[in-house]
């Protein structure tokens, strides 16, 4: 409960901040603050006059206003998205244009009232949209945290949902954002076929040549499949630290971590020494560890002409073998097609079928003795192998100092980032993006996640079907589960019946244990029994006295 009160307090605070900032924009021409805010009512009026701006872009401008955290060292881009108007290079003109459609919509399932995100709508088209950061991120002594939400609402066949952090430059124009636009970091999910990826790529500048090379993080060891197919909103987070380490998280759980110096492919720093490209293996270099024995001689009795298989002379034709019956006979039920033209198709013949007489016999046709291994076969003679006295090992070129060697001890110090972009191709529509944030404080990112993704997760959990419904749904997809369900229910019931049901008593036990109450006892019978007992006692005493006298 305390947690929910905190979230509502935070949302209210955000709304108050947005209101105050909007009011200040309307009354002042400039605003000296870390976050720049646009007056979207004014933009809408200008859009009505300036017909060159598309209606979709205006709708994006107005709809993507979110409660951005106005806190020091927070970098976000909630207020101005720009659609790309350029084309991909080296691509057929029919598909080169970035004409994929974007919309601002609520989630299809587990909707949070009033909460909308950016949705990729088109199939098999190029999409590109980007936004300037309100403040460029400089890689100095503070971590970089990149975080956003993705929901593959229709699953995903082939496509990506990764973002690019665009490198700062004087000529960066978001209307011309395309696949060749320089970026510093690329991060996010990507999938095609059964290959499920989570990208983290950064472009490293070679300090000697000034050229950039892509460095790819090693693949996570966890199974990522469920994040692409469950149609739930997932939170993707990348954390880069000034100590040159990184972490990738999904739903606030670490799925991969490592070092920028040790866990990137190819490595950031080239090797100090390389193989000499001019070094050549000598002609007399002997790499053979074993050689044929030059002193070995083929034995005189070694016959290389003996075959490996010979007829089994001891074999006898099975009794009942039908020598005169063929293995296949014409099908007696076959009929020549009506459209068969013997002049064009030749003489018609019925198709062959297995001879039914051979089904009950050991075999049909000409009997041939089976083959067996030849005990005298030795094959072609070869001299035995011995250790090579001239063996020199596997040759390798000598090492020389790498002329392109450099050592970058802090690859975290990357190119400054000033914009974020989505440049995607997908064979599935309705990919939902929301709640992007770039910051340096983990507490800020966690708070942002709690007020966005956390709320979506809470709604999704509340809408989850009950246990019984989940079991039925699973059985509909996998019918064999019904057998497991029945066995699971039948086993405890059977054991309960076996151990708890009263055992049936046999007649002998009942007759032995039950008293004889069917016949009443008379006084005379009772007196007689008493006298018999007294006589038995007297006889017992007399016997004891006799035994004592004898002693």
Please check whether residues 239 and 267 belong to one and the same domain: yes
Q: Is position 336 within any domain?
A: no
* Residue 29 reports pLDDT greater than 70: no
Confidence of residue 422 (pLDDT cuts 50, 70, 90): very high
Confidence of residue 551 (pLDDT cuts 50, 70, 90): low
Q: Closest by alpha carbon to 69, among 448, 372, 383?
A: 448
Residue 83 main-chain phi, psi, to 5 deg: -80, 135
Q: Is position 204 within any domain?
A: yes
The whole-number pLDDT of residue 532 equals: 72
Q: What is the per-residue pLDDT across 49-79, written as a single tens digit (0 to 9) for each?
A: 344 445 555 555 444 434 343 333 344 444 4
Give me the number of domains the chain comprises: 2
Q: How many CB atoms lie within 10 A of CB 21?
A: 16
Q: Is position 162 within any domain?
A: yes
- The beta strands (E) that lie in 161-233 are given as 163-167, 183-192, 195-205, 212-217
* Residue 446 reports pLDDT greater than 50: yes
Over residues 334-362, mean pLDDT: 90
User: 494 has which bridge partners?
Assistant: none
Boundary residue ending a domain (454, 476, 494): 494
- Predicted TM-score (pTM) above 0.75: no
Q: Closest by alpha carbon to 459, among 14, 115, 66?
A: 115
Average pLDDT, the chain: 81
Residues with Cβ within 8 Å of residue 314, at least 6 apart in sequence: none
Please check whether residues 488 and 419 belong to one and the same domain: no
Please check whether residues 459 and 485 belong to one and the same domain: no
Please check whether residues 472 and 458 belong to one and the same domain: no
Q: What is the per-residue pLDDT across 141-160, written as a single tens digit (0 to 9) for each?
A: 999 999 999 999 998 888 89
Over residues 42-53, mean pLDDT: 42
Please check whether residues 440 and 484 belong to one and the same domain: no
Q: Is position 485 within any domain?
A: yes
Q: Closest by alpha carbon to 258, among 91, 141, 411, 137?
A: 411
The whole-number pLDDT of residue 522 equals: 60
Q: Is position 475 within any domain?
A: yes
* Residue 41 reports pLDDT greater than 60: no
Q: Is position 296 within any domain?
A: no
* Residue 443 reports pLDDT greater than 80: yes
Give the pair of three-digit tokens for residue 467: 């246990």
Q: Is position 91 within any domain?
A: yes
Boundary residue ending a domain (424, 445, 463): 463
Please check whether residues 169 and 203 belong to one and the same domain: yes
Please check whether residues 205 and 160 belong to one and the same domain: yes
Q: How many CB atoms lie within 10 A of CB 79?
A: 20
Please check whether residues 426 and 477 belong to one and the same domain: no
CATH code of 260's domain? 2.60.120.200
Query: If DSSP states are collapsed to H, E and C, what string results for 312-372?
Result: CCCCCCCCCCECCCCCEEECCCCCCCCCCCHHHHCCCCCCEEECHHHHCCCCECCCCCCEE
Please check whether residues 440 and 472 belong to one and the same domain: no
How far is Cα 57 from Cα 44, in angstroms, rounded to an integer?
10
Segments forming the whole domain that contains residue 486? 467-494
The whole-number pLDDT of residue 496 equals: 76
Cis amide bond preceding 518, omega within 30: no
Please check whether residues 457 and 476 belong to one and the same domain: no
Please check whether residues 436 and 471 belong to one and the same domain: no
User: 238 has which bridge partners?
Assistant: 146, 248
The whole-number pLDDT of residue 453 equals: 92
How far is Cα 111 from Cα 523, in angstroms, rounded to an integer?
94
How far is Cα 186 from Cα 146, in angstroms, rounded to an integer?
10
Q: Is position 542 within any domain?
A: no
* Residue 473 reports pLDDT greater than 70: no
Q: Closest by alpha carbon to 446, among 239, 244, 260?
A: 239
The whole-number pLDDT of residue 63 equals: 44
């Amino acid at each position: 409960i305390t947690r929910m009160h905190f979230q509502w307090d935070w949302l209210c605070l955000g709304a108050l901040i947005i209101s105050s900032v909007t009011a200040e924009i309307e009354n002042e021409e400039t605003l000296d603050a870390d976050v720049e805010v646009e007056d979207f009512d004014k933009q809408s009026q200008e859009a009505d006059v300036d017909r060159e701006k598309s209606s979709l872009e205006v709708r994006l401008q107005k709809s993507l206003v979110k409660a951005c955290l106005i806190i020091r060292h927070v970098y976000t881009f909630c207020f101005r998205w720009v659609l790309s108007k350029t084309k991909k290079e080296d691509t057929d003109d029919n598909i080169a244009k970035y004409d994929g459609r974007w919309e601002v919509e609520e989630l299809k399932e587990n909707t949070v009232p009033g909460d909308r995100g950016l949705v990729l709508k088109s199939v098999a088209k190029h999409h590109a949209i980007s936004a300037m950061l309100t403040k460029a991120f400089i890689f100095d002594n503070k971590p970089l945290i990149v975080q956003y939400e993705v929901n593959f609402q229709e699953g995903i066949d082939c496509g990506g949902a990764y973002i690019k952090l665009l490198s700062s430059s004087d000529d960066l124009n978001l209307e011309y954002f395309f696949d060749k636009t320089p970026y510093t970091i690329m991060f996010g999910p990507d999938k095609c076929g059964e290959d499920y990826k989570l990208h983290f790529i950064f472009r490293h500048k070679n300090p000697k040549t000034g050229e950039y090379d892509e460095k790819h993080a090693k693949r996570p060891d966890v199974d990522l499949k469920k994040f692409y197919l469950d149609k739930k909103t997932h939170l993707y987070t990348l954390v880069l630290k000034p100590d040159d380490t990184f972490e990738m998280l999904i739903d606030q759980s670490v799925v991969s971590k490592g070092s920028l110096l040790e866990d990137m492919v190819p490595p950031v720093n080239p090797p100090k020494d390389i193989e000499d490209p001019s070094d050549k293996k000598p002609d007399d270099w002997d790499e053979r560890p074993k050689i044929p024995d030059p002193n070995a001689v083929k034995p005189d009795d070694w016959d290389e002409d003996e075959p490996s298989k010979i007829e089994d002379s001891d074999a006898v034709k099975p009794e009942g073998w039908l020598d005169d019956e063929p293995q296949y006979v014409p099908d007696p039920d076959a009929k020549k097609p009506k459209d068969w033209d013997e002049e064009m198709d030749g003489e018609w013949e019925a198709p062959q079928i297995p001879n039914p007489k051979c089904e009950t016999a050991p075999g049909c046709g000409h009997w041939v003795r089976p083959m067996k291994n030849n005990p005298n076969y030795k094959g072609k003679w070869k001299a035995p192998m011995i250790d090579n006295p001239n063996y020199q090992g596997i040759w390798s070129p000598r090492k020389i100092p790498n002329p392109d060697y450099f050592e970058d001890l802090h690859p975290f110090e990357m190119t400054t980032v000033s914009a974020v972009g989505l440049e995607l191709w997908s064979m599935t529509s309705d990919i939902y993006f929301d709640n992007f944030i770039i910051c340096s404080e983990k507490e800020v990112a966690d708070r942002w996640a709690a007020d966005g993704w956390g709320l979506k997760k809470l709604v999704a959990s509340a809408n989850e079907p009950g246990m019984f419904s989940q079991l039925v749904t699973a059985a509909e997809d996998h019918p064999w589960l019904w057998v497991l369900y029945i066995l699971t229910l039948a086993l405890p019931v059977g054991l309960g019946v076996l151990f708890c049901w009263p055992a049936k008593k046999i007649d002998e036990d009942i007759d032995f244990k039950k008293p004889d109450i069917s016949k009443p006892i008379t006084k005379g019978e009772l007196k007689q029994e008493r006298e018999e007992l007294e006589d038995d006692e007297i006889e017992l005493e007399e016997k004891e006295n006799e035994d004592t006298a004898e002693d």
